[in-house]
Amino acid sequence: MRVLACPDKFRGTASATEVAAAIAAAVSDQGWNCVVQPMADGGEGTLEAFGGANRTTPVTGPDRSVVQAQWRLDAKLAIIEMARASGLSLVGGSECNDAVQATTAGTGELISTATDCGATRIIVGLGGSATTDGGMGALEAMAPLARYRGVDIEVAADVRTKFLDAAAVFGPQKGASETQVALLAGRLARLAQVYRTEHGVDVTDVPRSGAAGGLGGGLFAVGADLCDGFELIADSVGLYEQMEDVDLVITGEGRLDATSFEGKVVGGVAELARHADVPVMAIVGQAADDVAGMIPTMDLTATYGEERALNDTLGCVQTAAREWLSECLWR
């Protein structure tokens, strides 16, 4: 037996790498082989899907303090997770964030550094941002923009939000008041005009241009491709090819609900497994009632209780996988 473990993170309790390792331990207990491939959809965890960070660069954080941002360079490919440079967690969450002043400058500095280091393909994972600056901070830090000719910048996003909607959709999550949301929306409208004038690009009706508070749109204005995050990462790591050589796929995430099947990891893995004609199961922290029957699922909260599922997530994952595999419930 060969099993592919390709979970997403369990937000707040375990990384995708840790969950995959717990699944692999359970597979090993059965005397089987396990291929480990942590996954992400463009948000936090993108670096892990590519093997983790191997570089650290001091950059401007969202509150303009200096942060040590991790990123990855593999030959000519650079992987940047914008949350490492411009993330909400860097300022202590929405309660501590200045939603109006937060900047994406640090993400632009990482893109600039990657280019200086010889990268010709740069994947930028969007998610977990503190910002709604429309990407202006990043573009200013990337100047001069002419140096990116010949550099392919691919933006991995897990939402399809458009540029002018970013403030209303994401602003409150970043600590913006109702008044500040209106201010940010006006600023995005003005920036859209700037991008039309300076770059000849209308970002307003482009899906994913509102990701990370409009950073997607800012990068699109200077030539970046906006991509479905899961699809881009799955293609880049050869997930489908890995499925063709296994007997079972195990995925998972912290909470399984209807959005899990709208561009997220679990839904994407399930679709690829269907095409590869390989059985798939999911181990999740908690499953909503409206997804019952969509994929064979082990709900850790329902099985072990909320306290244990939260405080011993990895132990629960390993136990659940071991029990499921030993009983062959996936057949």
Where residue 305 sits, what CATH number does that domain have?
3.40.50.10350
Query: What's the pLDDT band for 263 if we cut at 50, 70, 90?
Result: confident
Residue 331 has pLDDT above 70, yes or no: no
| The last residue of a domain, from among 167, 200, 230 | 230
Of all residues in the chain, what percent carry a pLDDT higher than 90? 92
Tokens of 74: 């593999």
Residue of higher predicted confidence among 44 and 40: 40
Judgement on whether residues 26 and 157 belong to the same structural domain of the protein: no
Q: What are the pLDDT digits (tens) for 139-161? A: 999 999 999 999 999 999 999 99
Residue 330 has pLDDT above 50, yes or no: no
Cα distance between residue 329 and residue 65, in whole Å:
51
Q: What is the mean pLDDT of residues 307-318?
A: 97
Judgement on whether residues 100 and 31 belong to the same structural domain of the protein: no
Burial class of residue 308 (count of CB atoms within 10 Å of its CB; 0-12, 13-18, 19+) = middle
Judgement on whether residues 102 and 61 belong to the same structural domain of the protein: yes
Quick one: which of 146, 58, 153 has its CA closest to 109? Answer: 58
Judgement on whether residues 220 and 86 belong to the same structural domain of the protein: yes
Cα distance between residue 240 and residue 232, in whole Å:
12
Judgement on whether residues 260 and 305 belong to the same structural domain of the protein: yes
Judgement on whether residues 17 and 67 belong to the same structural domain of the protein: no
pLDDT averaged over every residue in the chain:
95
Judgement on whether residues 165 and 284 belong to the same structural domain of the protein: no
Q: What is the mean pLDDT of residues 205-225?
A: 97
28-32, 171-175, 212-216: which range is least confident on average? 28-32
Q: What is the mean pLDDT of residues 72-93?
A: 97
What's the pLDDT score for residue 326?
84
Whether this prediction's pTM lies above 0.75 is answered by yes
Judgement on whether residues 166 and 207 belong to the same structural domain of the protein: yes
Residue 30 has pLDDT above 80, yes or no: yes
| The last residue of a domain, from among 191, 214, 230 | 230
Judgement on whether residues 13 and 78 belong to the same structural domain of the protein: no
Residue 44 has pLDDT above 90, yes or no: no
SS3 state of residue 155: strand
Q: What is the mean pLDDT of residues 84-111?
A: 97
Judgement on whether residues 110 and 29 belong to the same structural domain of the protein: no
Residue of higher predicted confidence among 52 and 327: 52
Q: What is the mean pLDDT of residues 106-125?
A: 98
Of all residues in the chain, what percent carry a pLDDT higher than 70? 99
Angle subtended at Cα 228 by Cα 226 and Cα 232, rounded to the nearest 5 degrees: 95
Residue 126 has pLDDT above 90, yes or no: yes
Structural domain containing residue 292: 2-38+238-327
What's the pLDDT score for residue 88?
96
Quick one: which of 84, 151, 82, 140 has its CA closest to 116? Answer: 151
What's the pLDDT score for residue 290?
86
What's the pLDDT score for residue 328?
61
Judgement on whether residues 80 and 219 belong to the same structural domain of the protein: yes
What's the pLDDT score for residue 40?
96
Residue of higher predicted confidence among 290 and 314: 314
| The last residue of a domain, from among 190, 214, 230 | 230
CATH of the domain at 188: 3.90.1510.10
Judgement on whether residues 67 and 186 belong to the same structural domain of the protein: yes
Q: What is the mean pLDDT of residues 101-127?
A: 97
Q: What are the pLDDT digits (tens) for 157-188? A: 999 999 999 999 999 999 999 999 999 999 99
Looking at the structure of the chain, the number of domains it has is: 2
